[in-house]
């Protein structure tokens, strides 16, 4: 009985890793689609999000079935409940990657990102993908040190976000309102994506160390803080 239980638990963990892989790939491809104004690639990212949603739905069903059948307590119970939360983070990350891809589609055949911001957006996209890859690795390895690295990476994302705002708020901004709106939203998408990756990693830390949940809330993006320093 315990073996069947741990097999089920492993399969939930594997689904989480697969979701992290899919959404990490999605944010990378969405960024490329946007910078290259590649409509086909954008469409493929938009369509692929269904797979992430299906995985989450399936995972939730299995987690609830497992709670009902096995009635885990203590650490085991915490693992299942935490898995449900991680899957919600990952599903939402997939939505955010899809938002980026939809913006690429909307502005096609142009890129929504002006030339002088492409390097910054590329960096944000790459960093987002890296954060999610690390989050996936943290789920597999339960490596607390690696999990803590994600916070440093997230600081880097905050810096990139501020750079974006500095461009936006610069009097020499010459790309008009539509592009300002697009870039504002993009900045938020990447920042939130990173927050969810950090949140996944922190939840693993919580499982491993039992550290208090208050310290495990994802850093809430505070756009106003970014604006104020811009």
Q: How far is the CB of 145 from a copy of itself (least distance, A)?
A: 26
Interface residues toward a copy of itself, by CB under 8 A: 53, 57, 60-61, 64, 67-68, 71, 73-74, 77-78, 81, 84-85, 88, 95, 98-99, 102-103, 105-106, 165, 168-169, 173, 177-178, 180-182, 184-185, 188, 213-214, 217, 220, 222-225, 227-228
Q: How far is the CB of 109 from a copy of itself (least distance, A)?
A: 15
Q: Which is nearer to a copy of itself, 152 or 220 (CB)?
A: 220
First-to-last alpha carbon distance for the chain, in angstroms, is: 57
Residue closer to a copy of itself, measured from CB, 208 or 227: 227
Nearer to a copy of itself by Cβ, of 93 and 134: the residue is: 93
In Å, what is the CA distance from 221 to each residue of 71, 76, 155, 158, 226? 36, 31, 11, 9, 9
**Cα gap 161→156, rounded to integer Å:** 9
Angle (CA) 147-26-82 rounded to 5° is: 40
Min dist CB 75 to a copy of itself, Å, is 11
Say which residues have a Cβ less than 8 Å from residue 152's Cβ, sequence separation at least 6. Answer: none
- Measured between alpha carbons, how far is 194 from 192 in angstroms, rounded to an integer? 5
Residue with smaller CB distance to a copy of itself, 40 or 57: 57
Least distance between a copy of itself and beta carbon 70 (Å): 10
Smallest Cα–Cα separation from 28: which of 131, 108, 114? Answer: 131
């Amino acid at each position: 009985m315990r073996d069947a239980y741990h097999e089920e638990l492993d399969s939930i963990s594997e689904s989480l890793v697969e979701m992290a892989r899919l959404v990490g790939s999605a944010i990378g491809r969405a960024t490329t689609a946007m910078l290259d104004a590649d409509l086909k690639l954008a469409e493929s990212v938009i369509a692929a999000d269904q797979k992430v949603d299906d995985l989450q739905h399936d995972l939730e069903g299995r987690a609830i079935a497992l709670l009902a059948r096995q009635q885990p307590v203590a650490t085991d119970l915490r693992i299942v409940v935490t898995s449900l939360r991680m899957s919600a983070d990952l599903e939402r990350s997939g939505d955010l990657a899809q938002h980026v891809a939809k913006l690429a589609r909307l502005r096609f055949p142009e890129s929504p990102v002006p030339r002088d911001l492409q390097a910054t957006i590329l960096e944000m996209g790459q960093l987002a993908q890296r954060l999610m890859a690390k989050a996936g690795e943290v789920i597999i390895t339960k490596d607390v040190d690696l999990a803590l690295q994600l916070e440093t990476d997230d600081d880097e994302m905050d810096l990139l976000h501020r750079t974006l705002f500095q461009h936006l708020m610069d009097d020499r901004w010459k790309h008009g309102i539509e592009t300002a709106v697009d870039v504002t939203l993009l900045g938020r998408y990447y920042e939130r994506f990173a927050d969810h990756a950090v949140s996944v990693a922190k939840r693993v830390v919580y499982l491993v160390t039992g550290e208090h949940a208050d310290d495990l809330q994802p850093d809430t993006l505070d756009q106003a803080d970014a604006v104020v320093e811009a």
